[in-house]
Amino acid sequence: MRGVPGAFVDLLVHQQNRVSPSRLLPSLLLPEAFNMEHAREVVRYLEHCIFVLDSHETAVHNYLLYLYSSLYPEKLLTYLENQGDSILEVNFDPRYALTVCQEAGHDQACVRLYSIQGLHEEAVDLALKTDIDLAKSMANKPKENESMCKKLWLKIAKHVVQEEKDIGRAMEVLQESGLIKIEDILPFFPDFVTIDQFKDAICASLEDYNRHMHELQEEMEEATGSTERIRKEISKLKNKPFVIKGNEKCENCGVPAMMRAFYAFPCSHFFHQDCLVDQVLPHLHGPSKSKVEDLQVNSIVPFPTSVPDGCTKPSS
C-alpha cells in the first residue's frame, strides 16, 4: 500500500465484495508521515466500499468520517446529510463522530450530530453561534414533538432579541415558526421598547385570538344543534311502531325471537333478552355492570341503559 497505493486500491476495487473492507482497515491506516497521494487512495477505496458496494460496516464509515474531518472537510457535511436524520439511520458511531468533529472545530457538523442524537437544544444553541438559518432548520427537526419545537424557536427568538437586538428580525421569527406568538417573546424585550415597534404582531395575535374564539363558538353551536337533533331522533325511534314477523330470529343464537323475551332494534335486528345481556355485560364497567348483574340474578332484565337508544322493550 505504501509503495504503490494507486495500484493497490485498483486491485481492491477489482475484487469487489470478495474482500472485507473492515479486515483491510489495519493496512489502510495512514502512518504519521504520509503523503496526500496515499491518503487520497485510501479515501477512494473507502468511498468505493460505501457508495458503490453499499457497505454498512461501522468501522469503515468511522474511518472515512475521520479522514473527511481531517483532510477533506468540504465533503463532511454532504456525507452527514446523506446518512440520515436519526441515530437509527446512520452507519457511523455518532458519539465518536461528534468527538472527532469537536476536536477539528467543525461546528456545523457538530450541530447535525447533536440533532442526530436527539440533542436538539444543544444543536440549536451551537447553531446560534454560527448560523441562525441553521438553527431554524434544527428547530424543526423534532416534528413529532410540538412542545420541543416551540421551545427551540423560543431560544432563537430570545437570541435575536437579546443578542442581535433586532426587533424586526424577531417578528420574522414569529412568522417562520408558526408556533410562538408575540406574548411568548414579550418578556425578552427591554423595558424601553415602544409598542409601535411590534404593533403589527400584536394586532395579528389579537386577530388570531378573535378568529379562534369565533371558530370555538361555531363548533359549540354545531355541537348543541347535533345533540338536539340526536335527542329528537332517539325520541322518535322510541315511539316508532314495529311490525315483527313470526320467523324473525335472534342475531346471537339463531333461535326464533318470539320463543322468549326479546329486544327489537330500529335496524331490524332482534336479540333475546338473555342473549343481549351476555353480549353487553363484558363491555360494561362499574355501576352499570353491577346493575345488570343484579337484575339478571332476579331474572328481571328491563331495557338496559347501555343498550343503544331506539330499541323496543323486550317482548315476551
Burial 228-258 (b: 16+ CB within 10 A, else e): eeeeeeeeebeeeeeeeeeebbbeeeeebbb
Q: Give per-residue pLDDT as tens, 247-263.
A: 899 999 999 998 988 88
Half-sphere exposure of 188 (CA within 13 A, CB side): 21
Gyration radius of the chain's alpha carbons: 35
Using DSSP's 3-state secondary structure scheme, residue 296 falls into helix
The pTM for the full model equals 0.60
pLDDT score recorded for residue 198: 60
How distant, in Å, are the alpha carbons of 51, 58, 79, 101 from that of 85?
18, 17, 12, 17
Q: Are the C-beta atoms of residues 185 and 174 closer than 8 Å to each other? A: yes
Helices (H) and strands (E) in the chain, counts: 15, 2
Quote the cell numbers at residue 312.
Answer: 323496543
Provide the β-strand partners of residue 81.
none
**Cα–Cα distance, 195 to 41 (Å, whole number):** 63
**Cα–Cα distance, 210 to 241 (Å, whole number):** 49
Per-residue pLDDT of the chain (316 residues; tens, 9 = 90+): 555 777 878 888 888 778 788 888 888 888 765 778 889 999 999 999 999 999 999 999 999 999 999 999 999 999 999 999 989 999 999 999 999 999 999 999 999 999 999 999 999 999 999 899 999 999 989 888 999 999 999 999 999 888 887 777 888 888 888 888 877 877 887 765 555 656 666 666 567 766 777 788 888 888 888 888 888 887 777 777 777 888 899 999 999 998 988 888 878 899 998 898 888 888 888 888 888 887 777 654 444 444 444 455 455 5
Q: Give the residue from 222, 230, 224 showing the smallest Cα distance to 309.
A: 230
Quote the cell numbers at residue 248.
Answer: 324473525
Quote the cell numbers at residue 96.
Answer: 465518536
Each as own residue / partner, the long-range contacts of residues 65-74 (CB below 8 Å, 24 or more positions apart, any chain) are: 65/92, 65/97, 65/100, 66/100, 67/30, 67/39, 67/42, 67/43, 68/43, 69/100, 69/101, 69/104, 69/106, 69/109, 70/104, 71/36, 71/39, 71/43, 72/43, 73/104, 73/106
Using DSSP's 3-state secondary structure scheme, residue 313 falls into coil
Quote the cell numbers at residue 61.
Answer: 464509515
Q: Give per-residue pLDDT as tens, 165-223.
A: 777 788 888 888 888 887 787 788 776 555 565 666 666 656 776 677 778 888 888 88
Question: From the centroid of its chain, how far is CA 76?
Answer: 28
DSSP-assigned states of every residue in 245-258: -TT-B-TTT-SBGG
Q: Are the C-beta atoms of residues 307 and 292 closer than 8 Å to each other? A: no
User: Where along the chain do its domains lie?
Assistant: 1-117, 119-192, 239-316
**Cα–Cα distance, 149 to 139 (Å, whole number):** 6
Using DSSP's 3-state secondary structure scheme, residue 315 falls into strand
